Chain A
Amino acid sequence: DIQMTQSPASLSASLGETVTIECRASEDIYNGLAWYQQKPGKSPQLLIYNANSLHTGVPSRFSGSGSGTQYSLKINSLQSEDVASYFCQQYYNYPTFGGGTKLELK
């Protein structure tokens, strides 16, 4: 199976700051990557698919990039409602997930 290594595991940032979360795949996943946001007690919400396509209704301050084995999620101008956990998922092969990043406000 394809291993997804996500970093950092936790992150503290200020309002208005730009935040970047990264995922590294154990092999080329050919942009078959999604990013999710999950708030406590809620189900995950799709943010990005195909590495860089914004899901319907997701604010444009979220963006995804990358190729091959290296991918990143960027949040521009951090808002209080962005405090959540984020995780990546590859679907090039049977789906596997990154370990998650917990984003808090500084």
Chain B
Amino acid sequence: EVQLQESGPGLVKPSQSLSLTCSVTGYSITSNYWGWIRKFPGNKMEWMGYISYSGSTSYNPSLKSRISITRDTSKNQFFLQLNSVTTEDTATYYCASGHYFDYWGQGVMVTVSS
């Protein structure tokens, strides 16, 4: 069974970087696509980007200057870094697999506040 689990700090200060880890079990991240999605208060959903089985990345153009998705295949983990955060980045962050997202993590709520 494929399982994804996000981890990372729940509170980040404005202007700092948000860093999250997605640990995957039951499937190798050297297959398929692995992405980050966030859900804002008010329920708007936004795809942030993904890293492919080969390590190539694709990002939402609205975030392209601030986002980086990387991976560690030895640990079967992939990572999100979002730089220069503001309060507008407060959201629940999910990792998920595929282009349509067939498996999701449980989500981690991140608040940006001083």
CB distance from B48 to the nearest CB of A (A): 10
Given A99-B43, A99-B44, are A91 and B60 neighbors across the interface (CB < 8 Å)? no
Residues of B within 8 A of A34 (CB): 100-101
A55–B94 alpha-carbon span in the complex (Å): 20
Instruction: Provide the A73-105 mask, 1 if CB < 8 A to any CB of B, else 0.
Output: 000000000000101010100111101100000
Could you tell me if A94 and B104 are in contact, using CB atoms closer than 8 angstroms? no
Residues of A within 8 A of B35 (CB): 95
Query: Chain B at the A interface: mostly helix, strand, loop or mixed?
Result: loop
A95–B101 alpha-carbon span in the complex (Å): 10
A28–B101 alpha-carbon span in the complex (Å): 20
A-B contact pairs, 16 of them (CB 8 A): A34-B100, A34-B101, A43-B104, A43-B105, A44-B104, A45-B104, A46-B100, A85-B43, A89-B101, A91-B99, A94-B47, A94-B61, A95-B47, A97-B46, A99-B43, A100-B45
Q: Kindly count the residue-residue contacts between A and B in the assembled complex, taking CB atoms under 8 Å apart.
A: 46
Given A1-B61, A43-B94, are A49 and B47 neighbors across the interface (CB < 8 Å)? no
Instruction: Provide the B70-114 mask, 1 if CB < 8 A to any CB of A, else 0.
Output: 000000000000000000000000100001111011110000000
Residues of A within 8 A of B61 (CB): 1, 94
Residues of B within 8 A of A45 (CB): 104
